[in-house]
Structure 1
Amino acid sequence: VFKIIVSKQNSLTEERDNLTRKNSVKFLIFPKKVQLGWRIFRGSAYYISSTEKTWQESRTYCQSVGADLMIINSKEEQDFANSFQTYMWIGLTDSETEGRWKWVDGSPLTTSYWRDGEPNGKTVENCGDIKTFTAERSWNDENCSHSLKWICEMKLS
C-alpha cells in the first residue's frame, strides 16, 4: 500500500510540475524608470510628456531615464504615435547634414510619413515632429529651439 501511495504522489508531483512549465505566465521585468505614465507597445515603452522643451532638452530628458526620442519604424508605430493626438518631438534630425534625415540611433530615414510639402528645406528646421496627427502623413520639420511636447521610447528587449 505504501508503494502505491508514494508512486501516486510522485506521479501527481510530476504532473503538477509539467503543468506549471506549460502554463507558466511569463512576467516582463520593466526597468525601474518605466512607471506610471509609460505606455507599452510592441516591445517598447513610451512616455509622452505633459510639458514642453526644445528638441535637445527633450532628448536629454529621455536619455536621463534610459530611453531616447521615439524612432518610428512601421505604419503601426506611426499610427500609435498619432493616437496621442499631440504636437510632439520625435527622434528625427538632419542637423548633421542638411537634407539627410537620421534617427537618434544614427540609422538613416528609410520610410517616412512627412506631411505634403515637408520637409520644406528651411535650414533652421532641423528637427522632426508630429504635427498633424489627424493624418497618417503627420511629420513636420521644425526649428529645434521651439518648445514642444515629446515622446520617449525605451526598448524592452
Structure 2
Amino acid sequence: MISGDAAAWIDLTDSDVEGTWKWVDGSTLTSGTETENSDTKSHQTPQHTGSDSVRNRSSRAAAVCLVLLCVLLMTAVVVLVTKIINLTEERDQLLTRNMQLSSNNSDLIKQRDQLKHGKNELSKMDGRVFYESSFYFISSEKKNWNESRRYCTERGADLIIIKNTKEQDFIQILSSTEVWIGLTDRDVEGTWKWVDGSTLTNGFWAPTEPNSNRGEEDCALTNSLGWADYPCTDHFQSICEKNILN
C-alpha cells in the first residue's frame, strides 16, 4: 500500500505515441486525468458564457439607447420644422397686413388731398353746406340753365345730381324756391341724362311732370312738389354740388 504523499509508478505510458496513453494490457486510457481536464473545461465554459451574455446585454442596451436617441432627434427636428413653417406663415401674414395698411394709408392721404382740393375750390362759395360726401351751394343770382352750369363749373363744382330719396329730401329742406338741377333731355327728347352723362333711372317728378307744356322744356328744376321740366332759357337760381371724393 502507498501511504501519505509517496509517489509510485502505475502501468500507464505514451511511449508508443506521444499523448496517447495506454495501459500495459494495450487498452487506451479513457478516464483519469482526461476526466479531470474535461471537468475543468466544463466548469470553465459557463464562465465564458456569462461574460458573453453580459456583453450581449450591453450591446442590446446600447442599441436601444441609440434608437431612442434617434427618435428624440427626429421628434426635435419635426417640432423645429413645424415651428419654422408657422413662423414663416406669420411673417407672410404680417407682410400682407403691412401692405394693406400701406394701401389704406395711401387712400387716406389721397382722400385728404381731395378734401383740401375741394375746400380750395369751394372757398369762393359763400353759404356752402356740407352733406354726406359733398358740398352744396345755392346761387344768389337767377340765370338760364347753361349759365347756371357754367357758374358751378367755374367754382370746381357742377349742377347737382340727385341720386336717392334721402338726397332729394335734403335738397327740398335746403331750398325753398325753384332751382335748376343737372338734368336735361336736350340730346334725345324723353331720355333724361345727368350732367355726368349717366341716364336717369328713378326720378322724383311732380305730378303730371315732365309734360313739355311750353314746347321745348328740356331742362329740369326742383321745387317743393318735386321735379319739373322747363325751357332751358328760363332764369332760376341753381344748386351746385362738389363731391369731395371725385
Aligned residue pairs, count: 128
Match for residue 119 of structure 1?
A: 210
Note the C-alpha offset of 1:34.
Answer: 1.6
Cα distance in 1 for partners of 2:232, 2:150 equals 13
Kindly report the root-mean-square deviation, in angstroms, between the aligned alpha carbons of the 2 structures. 1.6
| Seq. identity, % | 42
* 1:99 correspondence with 2:187: no
* 1:142 correspondence with 2:230: yes
Q: Which has the larger radius of gyration?
A: 2
Match for residue 69 of structure 1?
A: 159
Cα distance in 2 for partners of 1:97, 1:72 equals 20
Cα distance in 2 for partners of 1:96, 1:37 equals 33
Note the C-alpha offset of 1:51.
Answer: 1.0
Amino acid at match of 2:219: C
The structure with higher relative contact order (CA 8 Å, sep 6+) is 1
Give 1:4-153 correspondences, 5 Å limit. 28-29=115-116, 30-35=118-123, 36-83=126-173, 84-122=175-213, 123-131=215-223, 133=224, 135=225, 138-153=226-241
Note the C-alpha offset of 1:33.
Answer: 2.5
Amino acid at match of 1:98: E
Is the 1:53–1:147 Cα contact (8 Å) retained in structure 2?
yes
SS across alignment from 1:130: strand
Note the C-alpha offset of 1:87.
Answer: 0.6
Higher helix residue share: 2
TM-score, length-scaled by structure 1: 0.77
